[in-house]
Structure 1
């Protein structure tokens, strides 16, 4: 094989055995094998599951230990199979494998591998980094592959099992801290924070309009009467009347400044909320992938749904007091009243006097009940639609999904769709929560004793339609907000080198 003499091969195998047998006992148990591989700094040194498979494959006597004669037979058999695979890939008979030869071999084997994964595998095996994998490098890296050495699929599975490729694209060989390897890189939190800040500022006036309509408890009588009389055209006109009147009222209360009331506080609140939501979502995906034994990018539908819900709930718990303060401040904004920091301070003091910390967490249960399905539905729809689009493009281009890109326009459309569906599904819950948060303010003077109380009073006073009050401006706000958020998030991840 590769022009090596019999004597040279014997000497090399003996030298390898002496390196592995660090205790010079003439045999290797699992602990000794692991210690020897660490001396070699071999990729298997910490891959405990694979080490059991190696020990079982080499130990033909079944005594739980590897003797030299068993080791020699295993190595010679492994090298023959590795040479046959190497020679079949080396189409130009140069004695070395370049990336194009490897890529072509994977394609012939019907295996789709991304360019990034191929680069990582190649760089790991090409020890001297001369741009070519020699048989010696190929053999040393794959020697302890337990079986299937004539299959590139087995080689790729072996590499994936021993190499943990982190999200920055660096390769580390199973040296992550047990119990903490589900934590995502900080770049996900940064990307999430930027996405939340930009999208929320761009849609602040629509958010302001939504809150203003929600806290009003007296619906426009003209719209109701027109509907009763069966005047469709008049109904449509009066349906838009509350929006027009609300815009006029808000403008009269302070012009452009009134439309952005609470946005500073909103940004302070939404940056950590969005950062934690996306970061916790990525962490949940990794944790559930470990539980499943799968890839975080290809979770089961149930796990995908739960990961999205967990991300939303964790972020909601952290920022809920700021969320309540923002709603209360917006409901205290009236013509001739305080604005800006003065209004924030006054509102915070008023809430403290009403019950110290309790008013800040009023409606938290309802908030979590609404946030879990909202975040779960939103992220579930977005991720699956994104995967569907990328799979179609990859199939059309005959490449791996990681090597195709999705345009910002498509990302925005998918984001707007997922956001609109999830927001509509949980809107009644959020409306009731908002009224609990805003109770006792200038725009919403009624007070409630519980979640049940606010539900009963809303339905009795405004009917079931009252549960969807403000849904129109909410959708006008949510669709572009979520769309912008996902576009910023995906582009920020790309800039930070995250997948």
Structure 2
């Protein structure tokens, strides 16, 4: 801690220069934004887009399993491979990439904004300190970044869910022709509230990112301490992949049910009276396992997606910052 005068101390008080007035403290918001780096935004966006393009079909499978609540209109799938094979046979590669446009926009924007806000908050918290942030401070920084990111990107995730849950192989029978059409129709028919369906469970979902980033930062710091290097020392790709995979597995196993609740709230084929209604009906009709539907395809998708995202992010951000 500094031994200098507290901001706002009266002239002539101990520690003040005679005849001088203390400078007013910089506004917190201005100080926060002084730490934002466009490099973090671009690097996060690059990682999110790369991982989404590579693994979107598994995301489609995850969502279809998550909403499989027994309605007759839904196709019935017995396994991940059966689901992918059925979609391929009915709609081809285009079917497996249904909803990819909002997914690319959403993942790119989410990862970009998340890293953008997270690094700014983290730098703000470290301002004037020589000590590292604690696990709790990493958790709070990531949670704050997650809330700000969700406020900006929730409408994109609603459109992605709606597009992924169009089951007809006949384009003329599909409700939405694309991302912009879905956005326009949802806003016209359901208003702003329609674009923010699933926002409340999404807020719970910020705990997922917070836990993941906390685990990732702690793993990197402990590993670099073991190597007797600085906490932010560069790792090789395999080491980044290991840290990312372990942190993602920890976060998914801790928070998965919120994703099921969110997908069901955003689904156009069923109507719920809010989050508690989803929880009651899922528990009554499907039991505990209903809250974990789609978790296996989700793990198969998000673990490599997270590894790709973090490896791309770490390398692109270092390249941009070095330049």
8 Å Cα contact 2:52/2:107 also seen in 1: yes
8 Å Cα contact 2:101/2:179 also seen in 1: no
- Compute the displacement of 1:380 (Å): 0.5
Is the aligned partner of 1:423 residue 2:252?
yes
Question: What residue number does 2:280 align with?
Answer: 456
8 Å Cα contact 1:191/1:493 also seen in 2: yes
TM-score (norm 2): 0.84
Alignment CA distance shift 1:340-1:459 (3 Å): closer
8 Å Cα contact 1:253/1:336 also seen in 2: no
State which of 190, 199, 210 in structure 1 corresponds to 2:62. 210
Question: What residue number does 1:247 align with?
Answer: 84
Is the aligned partner of 1:363 residue 2:213?
no
CA RMSD after TM alignment: 2.8
- Compute the displacement of 1:403 (Å): 8.7
- Compute the displacement of 1:407 (Å): 0.9
8 Å Cα contact 2:211/2:251 also seen in 1: yes
1:250-399 aligned at under 5 Å gives the runs: 250-290=87-127, 293-295=128-130, 298-338=132-172, 342-371=177-206, 373-393=207-227, 395=228
Alignment CA distance shift 1:198-1:204 (3 Å): same
- Compute the displacement of 1:346 (Å): 4.7
Question: What residue number does 2:74 align with?
Answer: none
- Compute the displacement of 1:205 (Å): 1.1
User: Equivalent residue of 1:284, what SS?
Assistant: helix
Question: What residue number does 2:21 align with?
Answer: none
String of CA shifts for 1:439-476, please: whole Å, max 9, x gaps. Answer: x3xxxx22111111111111111111010000000000
TM-score (norm 1): 0.55
- Compute the displacement of 1:437 (Å): 0.5
8 Å Cα contact 2:57/2:84 also seen in 1: no
User: Equivalent residue of 2:113, what SS?
Assistant: helix
Of 401-410 and 197-206, the range deviating more from structure 2: 401-410
Partner Cα separation in structure 1 for residue 180 and residue 233 of structure 2: 50
Question: What residue number does 1:432 align with?
Answer: 261
Is the aligned partner of 1:479 residue 2:303?
yes
Bigger Rg, which one: 1
Alignment CA distance shift 1:497-1:347 (3 Å): closer
* Equivalent residues, number: 298
User: Equivalent residue of 1:459, what SS?
Assistant: helix
String of CA shifts for 1:59-117, please: whole Å, max 9, x gaps. Answer: xxx9976xxxxxxxxxxxxxxxxxxxxxxxxxxxxxxxxxxxxxxxxxxxxxxxxxxxx
Runs of 5+ unmatched residues, structure 1: 1-48, 53-61, 66-175, 220-239
